[in-house]
Amino acid sequence: MNAPVKFYQIGSFAVGNRLVDPEDRSVQSGENRFNALTSGHRACQGCGEALGARYVLDTAMEATDGKIMVVNATGCLEVFSTPYPETSWRLPWLHSLFGNAAAVATGVAASLRVQGKSDVRVIAQGGDGGTVDIGFGPLSGMFERNDDVLFVCYDNGGYMNTGVQRSGATPPGARTNTSHASGAEPGASFNQGKDLPRIAMAHGIPFVATATVADLRDLEAKVRTAMSIRGARYLHVLVPCPLGWGSRSDETIKLSRLAVESGIFPVFEAHHGEVTDVKKIRRRVKVEEYLQPQKRYSHLFAGSGLPEQVAMIQAIADKNIATFGLVDEGDDND
Amino acid sequence: MTNEKKPFAITLDVGSSLANKTGTWRNERPSYVHRLPPCNNACPAGEDVQGWLYDAEAKNYESAWRHLVKNNPFPAIMGRVCYHPCQTACNRVQVDEAVGINSVERFLGDEAIKQGWKFDEAAPATGFKVLVVGAGPSGLSAAYHLARLGHQVTIRESAPLPGGMMRYGIPAYRLPRDVIDAEISRIVDLGVTIECNVKVTDVPAMFAEGFHAIFLAVGAHLGKRAYIPAGDSARILDAVSMLHATEDGDPPLLGKRVVVYGGGNTAMDAARTAKRLGAREAIVVYRRNREKMPAHEIEINEALEEGIKMHWLSTISHVDADKVTIEKMALDESGFPQPTGETEELEADSVVLALGQEADLSLLNNLTDVSVDDGVVTVDEMMMTGMPGLFAGGDMVPGERTVTMGVGHGKLAAKNIDAWLNEVVWTHPPRPELASFDRLNPWYYADAPKSVRPRLDAARRAETFDEVVQGLDVETALFEARRCMSCGNCFGCDNCFGVCPDNAVIKHADGTYEFNLDFCKGCGLCAAECPAGAIQMNIELN
């Protein structure tokens, strides 16, 4: 008995395993995990954001011995978790305006610093609307000042709780109630887009990462890394929205996985503006496989379909794969 | 509600959202299910393969063995001679390669012998006496299951030693005799009496002797003969007798060049045994092609590796003292071999016929209630013949003739005999839905190569009766067991617990799970992301 027996039944892809040592299991697999966002919240069935928020905050709680304060921008996450007089939060939690979560978090961090409570850490969180659109100015300021805050964006690609309006993070071609599936170029336009992880990197802050709810181990590792660093940090988590995406409630994780495997959503980590790690694609798929289960893209496939638009989306995925090196040379395993 | 003054228009106290039971939103309810893994479904002996692998994965080898022998008392034998239909059915084939179930089974069987594990004690004595005729796999399996149920079992066997075809048909290089002895002695320790060198010829006399039920499992030990024109000095033997005589330590003289006629497993055994007995050349002659050969692929490959030559699409038309004449055949459109008229001569000192076996059913001659059709005994779904209390199984009844099938017959007969003795009817428990591959979420299984059993060098193997396929060491066995995908049954991966957006899965300290229906909204993520397909969503009608 020299080399340890490798565990192949399930790799590191599942949440836990009865055969793995407890210290090697994910935070989420612990029967006494913190459940920062507890039951009874009013998120839709299969909500990716509720899942992502619990994943992030439970890990942060564990990494900091429970010393966390959270500032939450207006948005789905705030609406479904705190309809007065109920709250689903089990940690100190502040609701800011839609646009100023980063500024409020900066203030909280400054106050803690003045009080000498350097062990209490601050997390600001919001959806893509509160991050890439409305809260973008304060967020950029927080980055530029390198305030000691982890900002987490749960990106579901639109303003969902107000009735699914387009945001700066709505992907090209996707239908929303303000980007109808009609006209010559149906759905959200194919323009420049607003790639916030790379904008954050351009600020040169200590830590920027992307993650999804489909890869829990990776997400937890990134939160732990973020909590081990001081200064401005940014984590962008893709969270499918069954309501806005028109997907089945049991496909939330599958769609996150397909977003990664198709190259639509590159998963990477960057320190001080440089990419240091990328998550390679394990089983590459065409973008159709990701798009087709979502009704927000149904116009791309109805009737004879819109193959040119699909090809444009594939081109975006291919560019991501090339830019981030998501597939190893000669390892195109589809 | 407290009396403290509340803000304008607020009537409720501030509190946790736990007060909001979101379970009322649900219209589909998840439940944990057990689906039937394809390995279990394919096992002729009805083993709970996934069940015992689950224990083996956690290094609980003894409980794995105990779980296994609930259905089959011969893991060490199975691990050597079973053609493992479980592996053919294994869902992992569609991820990388089938789990080496057979190797792990053998490892557990060998470990049990090494550690001296004994069967759990039999149930309290029932007072019923059962006679088993024949100590082959089927008879021994029936005796084992009957004994565990508390019946007093006697086996009568015509050969000098128990084991049947496991001893007298399967050569020692495939199944060492100490393994047979070890697994049979464990059955004897359970209280089963085995009387050897006793040939049962009169069934009614046995009932008169006081046996309440009888299970016949005499096997099929007569080699089928075929008329082949032959010269006076031609030497023609049958494979069953040849293998039997070799086991008795009195191998027949075969000469330097041996032709084996037939394409089944017995033909492979005969050809490989002939080599080990000193033949320089062993040639298998078979009338159809390799694809149509009934012998198992593994046995054909091992025979070829040992230098056995194959003449496919050939029939023997004449045998002389030092040669045989074979005629070439061609398959017609329906895949049936037709003679071509083209002949060839092969040098041969002897010809071994391996054309199938027949059962010696002479003990049934005077039993008018028992019907025989096409050389095999007719039994109903209870394994009972037309004579009340007389059951039959194994090679003497219709079915595939393998050790594993025999063991399965023995178990099925034992359950029915037990029920018959207690004047009830045994019915097979309802079979759960099959855990087919489309029920799984294979994303969660990492790719891994199958570990290959170390093999003796083919050249060395052919010289001796040493065991050809070696067992797995403990590390490799564990590695193999852990490749099991646990199809249709929870294996504790925590995915349901982790992926629920509503924390509506409770994980208990012992690793089991429970749905909290107060909060479960019925999104179905747990079922979709369960790797093993062990969660089912059911429509709820209020």
Give the confidence band of A23 by pLDDT, cuts at 50, 70, 90. Answer: confident
CB-CB contact of A26 with A15 (8 Å): yes
Q: What is the number of CB-based contacts under 8 A between chain A and chain B?
A: 173
This complex has an ipTM of 0.94
Q: Is the dihedral of CA B172, B176, B179, B181 positive or negative?
A: positive
Of A11-25, A228-242, B389-403, the range with the highest mean pLDDT is A228-242
- Residue B198 has which token pair? 């006793």
Q: Mean per-residue pLDDT for A200-213?
A: 98
Across the interface, do B58 and A35 touch by the CB < 8 Å criterion?
Answer: no
Res A264 pLDDT > 50: yes
Name the 3-class secondary structure at B255.
coil
Residues in chain A within 8 Å Cβ distance of B507: 29, 31
Residues in chain A within 8 Å Cβ distance of B443: 13, 257
Q: Would strands B281-285 and B257-261 be described as parallel, antiparallel, or unpaired?
A: parallel
CB-CB contact of A201 with A273 (8 Å): yes
pTM of the full predicted structure? Answer: 0.89
* Helices B61-69/B101-115 angle, 10° precision: 100
Across the interface, do A39 and B519 touch by the CB < 8 Å criterion?
Answer: yes
Give the confidence band of A12 by pLDDT, cuts at 50, 70, 90. Answer: low
- Residue B228 has which token pair? 């082949």
Residue with the larger pLDDT of the pair A76 and B8: A76
**pLDDT number for residue A58:** 98
**pLDDT number for residue B448:** 59
Q: Mean per-residue pLDDT for A305-331?
A: 92
Q: What percentage of chain A has pLDDT greater than the value 70?
A: 95
Number of neighbouring beta carbons within 10 Å of residue B93: 14
Report the gap between the CA of B365 and the closest CA in chain A (Å): 55
Q: How far is CA A304 from CA A300, A307, A308, A312, A314, in A?
A: 9, 8, 11, 17, 18
Res A332 pLDDT > 80: no
The radius of gyration computed from the CA coordinates of chain B, to the nearest angstrom, equals 29
Number of neighbouring beta carbons within 10 Å of residue A24: 11
Task: With a cut of 70, list the residues of chain B below it in pLDDT.
Answer: 1-4, 447-466, 542
Residues in chain A within 8 Å Cβ distance of B23: none
**pLDDT number for residue A6:** 44
Separation CA A132–CA B307 (nearest Å): 73
**pLDDT number for residue A11:** 57
A38: nearest CB among B503, B518, B537: B503
Across the interface, do A46 and B443 touch by the CB < 8 Å criterion?
Answer: no
The dihedral over CA atoms of A206, A211, A213, A215, expressed in degrees to the nearest 10, equals -110
**pLDDT number for residue A19:** 83
Residues in chain B within 8 Å Cβ distance of A37: 503
> Buried (b) or exposed (e) across B23-39, using 16+ Cβ within 10 A?
beebebebebbebbbbb
CB-CB contact of A47 with A77 (8 Å): no
Closest CA to B364 of B350, B351, B375, B352: B375
**pLDDT number for residue B455:** 44
Report the gap between the CA of A304 and the closest CA in chain B (Å): 29
Across the interface, do A5 and B478 touch by the CB < 8 Å criterion?
Answer: yes
Q: Which residue has the tokens 């659109």?
A: A133
Residues in chain B within 8 Å Cβ distance of A10: 444-446, 493, 531
Report the gap between the CA of B466 and the closest CA in chain A (Å): 27
**pLDDT number for residue B408:** 97
- Residue A203 has which token pair? 């600020």
Strands (E), chain A: 68-72, 86-87, 93-95, 121-127, 149-155, 207-212, 233-238, 268-271, 274-278
**pLDDT number for residue B449:** 52
Q: How far is CA B378 from CA A294, B161, B345, B375, B503, in A?
A: 59, 28, 43, 10, 58
**Alpha helix ranges (H) inside B98-136:** 101-115
Res A134 pLDDT > 50: yes
Closest CA to B279 of B287, B266, B292, B270: B270
Across the interface, do B521 and A251 touch by the CB < 8 Å criterion?
Answer: no
Across the interface, do B15 and A43 touch by the CB < 8 Å criterion?
Answer: no
**pLDDT number for residue B447:** 65
Q: Which residues pair with B343 in a beta bridge?
A: B327
Res A84 pLDDT > 90: no
Separation CA A15–CA A22 (nearest Å): 12
**Alpha helix ranges (H) inside B175-308:** 177-189, 203-208, 239-247, 265-276, 297-305
CB-CB contact of A30 with B501 (8 Å): no
Res A297 pLDDT > 90: yes
Q: Would strands B222-223 and B505-507 be described as parallel, antiparallel, or unpaired?
A: unpaired
Q: What are φ and ψ of residue A94, in 5° steps?
A: -120, 135
Separation CA B475–CA B453 (nearest Å): 12
CB-CB contact of B533 with B439 (8 Å): yes
**Chain centre distance of CA B118:** 21
